[in-house]
Structure 1
């Protein structure tokens, strides 16, 4: 067998686009200022409420911690996480406010919810997600997958205010798990998405753990929006759930870091700013 060029293995495909398909770096200082100074224009609410939902282990609680880390300028971990849990570690409907100073909070509230699971008897029930979006679920309510919250229960809010309602719905999925999501979980996520659409609630998605999804992002997180594999995951998830690709953001949550990193912050702030903009539009259109 010869050793000519025809016998040589082909070069591996280039993993990067020639330029970023979404430019987020140059907006970093403005995005940070925007988030820190944001106040809802609608006088009926003091806080914009963002509900995070998605499969077990997708990084919902970690994203809340990461946002708080960015705003406080130091690593925090107030929302409990568990990398070893095979089921949802979040058991209660929990609202997280981020303190700005001793006397005030930032104008965004994150609600963490039990993760969706393949089994119909485990994970959060779709009907309870709907109740949460309408504002009927009290902070601290403990989810029970086999016993849905009833109007007669203590944790049921019979007359929710606009402040109690969800203003933005965000689906959270690990970037490397898009092709692994079961049909059952996809069905649940789409039911939630349809319900939110009927309520007029804007929707976005974040693909987390980009550094675990591919070695290029792990090597240089600043190249996230140049990596072809990650763009493919965005497009695939867009087709899977029906969310437009320009409403899907790539994120690396703070996990092993002990100090803040501007390249990580850039990705988090880009997603957060769009959540706020969509929520503000929702409140202003009421």
Structure 2
């Protein structure tokens, strides 16, 4: 394996806590005077309506398929639950998530498709987009989801319920192999998820992420990045979530993310997943909806051209 070109790009990721200035250095503000990216904090209703009203331009598909991948503990399942919370307007748990990664292994073992309910009314209807949650990326060979399985999932060859095997890939004679995937079965948006609170991101995991990005790029699949746990990584954002695009620390994290995985900065979005809350929060919703709108727009453009 060649040494990734981004080896030095995540040095700051190795030290996730706030930078401590020497005692004799002049104090600088941890936040910018103005946000470097604009977001409509007080207008979640219009963003929610946009998502609620979304219908794919391509009438040959019933939904957009969004695949989330990343290291274990990045918050993939929690993001799916957070989207469900926003759309249902209450706390939900469609994707089982773990609050601990102490075992060092992925909590998600199977290829799962999660449909998102619309609102709370009847009859029961679902949004025209679904999420696929997969086994997390782990360090070393024979650990975590295999690159071959990820590539098969991108093309729609993996059936619901397939149990990932870290040491053996899905074969074309397996009953969980979809030999004739439809456009509905294919992935329409690939989402890389990293946590801002990670102590470090191993080079072997970054290499696996780079390989997956290359496979998706060869298929023309649009890609975005999500950086989670922003409140845990930045004191100013923990105090006020509206500081997310003022935080110098988080902007630095996002730039490092961009360099490490090769995604443009305007395709990377910080979010706070619902974790300790028992009621909805408008500011949490605003970041999730802002990210979700980009996902469905990117996916809709992709399916409209295929």
* TM, length-normalised to structure 1: 0.94
Deviation at 1:31, TM superposition (A): 1.6
Q: Which has the higher helix share?
A: 1
**Deviation (angstroms), 1:93:** 0.5
Q: Deviations over 1:43-66 (max 9, x none)?
A: 111111000000000000000000
Cα distance in 2 for partners of 1:55, 1:102 equals 37
Q: In the alignment, is the contact (CA less than 8 A) between 2:87 and 2:117 conserved in 1?
A: no
1:13 has 2:33 as partner: no
Aligned to 2:157: 136
How much has 1:222 moved relative to structure 2? 1.6
Name 2:58's counterpart in structure 1. 42
- 1:5 aligns with none
CA RMSD of aligned residues (A): 1.2
- Per-residue CA deviation, residues 57-107 of structure 1 (Å, 9 max, x unaligned), is 000000000000001111112211112232100000000001224332111
Alignment-derived partner of residue 186 in structure 2: 165
Task: Tell me the SS of whatever aligns to 2:194.
Answer: strand
d(CA) in 1 for partners of 2:282 and 2:88?
A: 13
Query: What residue in structure 1 maps to residue 38 of structure 2?
Result: 23
Greater displacement, 99-108 / 70-79:
99-108
Could you tell me which of 115, 129, 136 is aligned with 1:115? 136
Residues in 1 aligned to 2:53 and 2:236: alpha-carbon distance in whole angstroms: 34
Structure 1 unaligned segments of length 5 or more: list them: 1-7
Instruction: Give the deviation of 1:10 after TM superposition.
Output: 3.2
CA distance in 1, matches of 2:248, 2:48: 27
Aligned to 2:69: 53
Deviant stretches of 4+, over 6 Å = none
**Equivalent in the alignment of 1:239:** 259
Take 1:208 and 1:166, find their aligned partners in 2: how far apart are those partners?
22
Question: Shift of the alpha carbon at 1:25?
Answer: 2.2
- What SS does the corresponding residue of 1:255 show, helix, strand or coil? coil
Flag the structure with more relative contact order, 1 or 2, with Cα contacts below 8 A and sequence separation at least 6: 2
- Whole-angstrom CA distance in 2 between matches of 1:126 and 1:102: 40
Segment of structure 1 superposing worse, 102-111 or 229-238? 102-111
Q: TM-score, normalised to structure 2's length?
A: 0.88
* 1:1-286 equivalences in 2 (<5 Å): 9-26=24-41, 28-85=44-101, 86-100=104-118, 101-177=122-198, 180-286=200-306
Q: How far apart are the structure 2 equivalents of 1:201 and 1:22?
A: 25
Aligned counterparts of 1:12 and 1:174: Cα–Cα separation in 2: 28
* Count of residue pairs brought into register by the alignment: 278
Gaps of 5+ in 2: 1-22
The CA deviation at 1:135 is: 0.2
